[in-house]
Each structure stands twice: as C-alpha cells, then as structure tokens.
Copies of this chain bind each other. A is one copy, B any other.
Amino acid sequence: MEAAEFRRRGKEMVDLIADYLENIEQRPVYPDVEPGYLRSLIPEEAPEEPDTYEDVVKDIERVIMPGVTHWHSPYFYAYFPTANSFPAMLADMLSGAIGCIGFSWAASPACTELETVMMDWLGKMLKLPEDFIAGTHGQGGGVIQGTASEATLVALLAARSRAVRMILASDPQRPETGITSKLVAYSSDQAHCSVERAGMIAGVRMKKIPTEQSDKYAVQGETLRRMIQEDKAAGLIPFYFCATLGTTPSCAFDHITELGHVSGPALYVSKIWMHIDAAYAGSSFICPEFRPLLNGIEFADSFNFNPHKWLLVNFDCSTMWVRKRSDLIGAFKMDPLYLKHDHQESGRYFYTDNSLFRSLKMWFVFRMYGLKGLQDYIRKHVELAKEFESLVRADQRFEISADVVLGLVCFRLKGSNEVNETLLKRINNGRKIHLVPCQLSGQFVLRFAVCARTTESRHIREAWRLITQLAEEVMQELPH
C-alpha cells in the first residue's frame, strides 16, 4: 500500500472509527465468547500472497469485534477508565507517521523536548512543588513511562541504586553484594499488585503494611514507623516506600504528609525514597477541590499517575516526576558509542530508552480541551459517581463499602459474599453493563467505576435499574 491508497483507506478508517464510537452503546459491552474462539476464525498461517484490504476490513466485524470488551462503552464500569479522545487519536496518527524512536536527544530532539515541556505543563496543572519542574535550570522533572507499574519499578530501582551508593559512601569497607539482601521496601496491603511484583523484579523484600476499614484503608504513619523500627532492629535497611493515592480496590488515600514525616529521618540511609502512585486519582488533582489529596507531595522523591486513565490521553502515557533527575539517570545510564552525539552532556534532558512521540498526544489534548475542559471532564465523572452513590444509599438492601471520593463506588448487597458473587456473575452474564469485584476486609464487593468519556446520567440510572432488578432475582433465589 502506497500513500495514494492510504489517503483513501485512511479516510475510510476515520469513518469506521467514528461509526464505532458513535454507536458503541448498541454493542454488548462484554463479549460472549469462549477461550480459543478466535483461532478457528482465521487461517493457521499468514498468506503467501497479499489479501485484499476489503477482506481485512470485513474481518474486523467478523473476527475482532465479537471478542472485544468495549472499554469505551458508557456501560463499561469495570477496572478504572482508560482514556480515549479524538485529539489524542489524531496526535497518535501523527506520531505513527513521524515514527521516531526517542532514545536520545539526537534521535529526535523534538520528541525529547516536547516531552520535557509537556511534563512541566502538566506538573504546573497539578501545582507540583517547583522541585519537580524541569524548566531551564531545575534538577527535577518529568518523563513519560508506559504504565504506573513501570514507574513504580523505575522508582524502586533508582531508590535501590541510591541506597547502595549511600551505604557504600558511609561504610566503604562493606561488601556490596550483601547490601541488597538487607534492603526492605514497603507499601500498603491495598497497593496494586504491580508494587509487589516490582519488589520481585528488583530482588528486594517488599513488605505489606496492614490497613484497616476504620482508617478508610489508608496506611497510618504509626504503623509504618513501627515496622521500620522493628526492621532496623533486625538489621534490615528500609529504603523505599510506595504510597498510593487512590488504591485499585476502593480508591483509598494514604496520608502522605504523615508518612513523609515518618520516612524522612531516623534511618540508616539518609532518607527513605517515597514514591507516590496515583495512577487513577492523579488526574483529579488538576481540580483545586481535589488538589488537597496530594498534600504531602513535598516529601516525595517521585510521583506518578496515568493521564491514559482519566485525562483523555490515550494509552500509553504514564507521567512520572522525580525530584532529582540524576537519581534516575545514574541508575540506568549506558553510553555506547552508537548513542553518543554532540549534545550528550547538555544535561537538560532525560528519557526512557524507547519512547515514541507520546508527548504529542498530551500537547493535542491539553490544547484542544484547555485546563477548564479537562477539569469539567473530571468533575462530571465525580458527579456521576455521586449520583450512583445516592441511588445505592437510597436502597436499604445495599450498602456502600468505602468512601466515594472520586469516580469509583464500592458497594454490595447487605448479606453474604455468595449473594454478591452471584449478583455480579448475573450482571456480567447479561452483558449489558460490566463491573469487576474487589475484596475489602474479607468482603466481596462490587466496584462501579465511571469510565467512558460519553457516560451520562441516563446510563448510570439504567445501570442501577438493571442491578436492582438482578439483585431482586438473586435474593429470591438465594437464602439471604
């Protein structure tokens, strides 16, 4: 296919995409297929000779769509949102065409530079402390990662590197090999599973800090302080704490001001690295009324959230800021000759190894929505969640399982886990709306996350009608 045909096919694809998104709510949100469904629908091998483009396009409806979970349907309430906006899609088209790999400044200066400046723009929208803004002379700054999981790992590795460096500086005789086995990192028992996995990858102990329903599932400073003391007494070296703002199960918020005071002094290494994972909730901090949730950021060494979740920037775009770029660069730097260039030591830039031109979609989205448009979007989702919450609260058979702070409502039928599991199964098998569960204090809880860009009040009310209708059926069938 050459450019001339692309002009035609590309425009057809634009219409196909617009049609798909305009009519998405007519599709069952959750697919009705069994594992292995797709293999039998297509050949076992790639064709020797080209297929026609018409055949490829026909297969989108025949092969792909029956197996798609429609994340952008206004009836999708599972997991957390993933962003999808037209300005981001336009930027991604351009990014694909430019198709540069941004592994160094020279590999495409615009790619590196726009990323740095967009991270400053976004940092300012969040009113991050000056330390995290690169500007022209800052020591900190932002970099785009693929996911929050990646950012957690990158922060953990930088922290490990800094801790080992500091320990060796204070005790040069100490054998380096034994240090890692003494390091200990912490995160909430509510933290995303990727935090635990980061510990596995880095080969360090990762301890879960217990939380309580009575504390709204937030890590308490006192609990962390006690764990740190015990670990130090046992000869371990605390070096990393991953705080969560907006946990996956219930959107709980750790008290980072309190935790910052704990993790600061009193340690073998001069300071514990505090990383803040606000994957979902972070987008809301652009609204003044939600910004207090980020108070305490001044204690953090690194901070991350996903504009690709809730800020209309399509996947992937996970934004990570560090107080000191040198901590990140130092932990990963490699300088083979084939990557050297004349501006190697400009020192003003840092990047991951393999970014596409991901900052383009931040640029398009921020400009086409404006800060106000983005704030409106966040507020609308929170309002919809509040609307759902009041529907639940107005029904005596149900209970709310965790504070509703942003766009997630955790709720359940008063009663056994079994009755709630059955209800959820019934909901998802209906394929009209889609939800996933979580576990809170041993209880099976339903998570209702406002996800799609096009969700309106009528969808929320329709979802609630459906849930109550199925709940009635389930309660009639099961002993309550």
Contacts and interface: CB of A to CB of B under 8 A. Distances in A.
Contacts of A339: 193, 436
A177 B235 CA distance: 14
A447 interface: yes
A367 B56 contact: yes
A445 to B, nearest CB: 9
A109 interface: yes
Contacts of A343: 34-35
Interface in A150-205: 157, 160, 177-178, 180-181, 192-194, 196-197, 200-203
A134 to B, nearest CB: 9
A48 interface: yes
A146 interface: yes
A100 B71 contact: yes
A258 B7 CA distance: 50
B121 A367 contact: no
9 contacts: A33-B109, A37-B109, A60-B94, A67-B108, A69-B100, A71-B98, A82-B100, A249-B337, A316-B356
A403 to B, nearest CB: 18
A438 B337 CA distance: 6
A5 to B, nearest CB: 7
Nearest to A90: B13
Given A18-B6, A99-B314, A46 B1 contact: no
A92 B157 CA distance: 32
A237 to B, nearest CB: 13
Interface of A: 1-7, 9-11, 13-18, 20-22, 31, 33-39, 42, 44-51, 53, 55-56, 60, 63-72, 79, 82-90, 92-94, 96-101, 105-111, 113-114, 116-117, 120-122, 124-125, 136, 146-147, 149, 157, 160, 177-178, 180-181, 192-194, 196-197, 200-203, 248-249, 314-316, 331-332, 334-340, 343, 346, 348-349, 353-354, 356, 360, 363-364, 366-373, 436-439, 444, 447
A69 B14 contact: no
A280 B31 CA distance: 37
Contact of A42 (B21, B53, B117, B192): B117
Nearest to A444: B337
Nearest to A22: B3
A79 B338 contact: yes
A53 B71 CA distance: 27
Contact of A31 (B72, B109, B370): B109
Given A3-B21, A6-B90, A334 B121 contact: no
Interface centre among A121, A346, A368, A437 (most CB of B within 10 A): A368
Contacts of A69: 100, 106-109
A58 B370 CA distance: 17
For the complex of A and B, the 10 pairs showing the least CB-CB separation, nearest first, are: A67-B110, A10-B14, A193-B334, A38-B113, A17-B97, A6-B86, A35-B346, A50-B370, A67-B109, A51-B367
A368 B66 contact: no
A120 B45 CA distance: 8
Most B Cβ at <10 Å: residue of A46, A177, A438: A46
Nearest to A348: B35
Contact of A99 (B33, B82, B181, B373): B82
A248 B447 contact: no
Contacts of A17: 6, 10, 93-94, 96-97
A50 B35 CA distance: 45
A21 B85 CA distance: 25
A332 B35 CA distance: 22
A106 to B, nearest CB: 7
Contact of A15 (B7, B96, B346): B7
Contacts of A120: 44
Given A197-B334, A337-B437, 15 more contacts: A10-B11, A33-B109, A35-B105, A36-B348, A46-B371, A47-B370, A48-B371, A63-B110, A65-B110, A67-B109, A193-B336, A194-B334, A203-B203, A315-B354, A340-B437
A251 B368 CA distance: 45
Nearest to A99: B84
Best-buried of A55, A197, A367 by chain B (most CB within 10 Å)? A367
A279 to B, nearest CB: 11
Nearest to A178: B181
Contacts of A201: 157, 201-202
